[in-house]
Amino acid sequence: MERIGREIHPLSIPSEAVAPERHSDAPKPGEVIASHYNNCFGCGIDHPTGLHMRIEAGEGMTTQAVFEVTQHHQGAPGIAHGGILSLAFDESLGATNWLVRAPAVTAHLEVSYRLPVPVGTLVYIQATMQAISGRKIWSTAEGRLNSPDGPLAVEAGSLYMQVPIEHFTKHGRQEDLAKAASDENALNYVKKLDIAP
């Protein structure tokens, strides 16, 4: 494992980690992974200014998404903001947790920007769950411009931590929790999880 000073780098996969196994009830390849909450900034269909990401389950431990960079996503004139790209990758990497049907939150995210991503570009994101150890889940992703085999523009690595569903009820705002309680996507999301971290 790689060390940074005295600490082990969070994206270093420990030797005791195992290859993840797709849950028997995970979404099938090609199936859209439902939004976990309609007002999520990344995948929520009701968020007025969100990314509205549509993510599909892939083969094995992968997900695929296509993110369209619009004028609302720019940082420098005509170029996607790095933070928006980071969000798109966090959403795609997080969706891999559906493949093991475990609620999890982002603990660490690293993004490497290889090329500028112009407004009007489609970013094809493929995320792959790499390993699991206890509550920890490691995943990687890459984003290519305008086609699944286009130029490599962005790479990312993540560490997610499985959490009990109470994590969200304990830390979420009450008015948002009440809204989620009437959100069909959120209710279906909770019903489909294996909640035992």
Number of domains in the chain: 1
Whole-angstrom Cα distance, residue 95 to residue 32? 10
CA atoms within 13 A on the CB side of 78: 0
Number of CB atoms found within 10 A of residue 137's CB: 26
Per-state percent for the chain, helix, strand, coil, to nearest 5: 20, 30, 45
Determine, yes or no, domain membership for 155. Answer: yes
Domain enclosing residue 50, as ranges: 20-191
Nearest to 132 by CA among 95, 165, 167, 162: 162
Is residue 123 one of the residues assigned to a domain?
yes
User: Cβ contacts of residue 141 below 8 Å, gap of 6+?
Assistant: 89, 92, 93, 125, 126, 127, 128, 155, 156, 157, 158
pLDDT of residue 121: 96
Residue 98 sits in a domain whose CATH number is 3.10.129.10
In a domain? residue 8: no
> Is the Cα dihedral 14, 17, 22, 23 positive or negative?
negative
Q: Is 1 a member of any domain?
A: no
Within-domain flag for 14: no
Return the structure tokens found at 191. 């019903």
Q: Say if 76 falls within a structural domain.
A: yes
Strand partners, 137: 132, 160
Cα 155 to Cα 131: distance, rounded to the nearest angstrom: 17
pLDDT for position 196: 46
Show pLDDT as tens, one digit a residue, over the chain (197 residues): 555 555 667 889 999 999 999 999 999 999 999 887 777 888 888 888 888 899 999 999 999 999 999 999 999 999 999 999 999 999 999 999 999 998 899 999 999 999 999 999 999 999 999 999 999 999 999 999 999 999 999 999 999 999 877 777 777 777 777 777 776 665 565 566 554 44
Q: What single string gives the DSSP state of each residue in 77-100?
A: TTBB-HHHHHHHHHHHHHHGGGGT
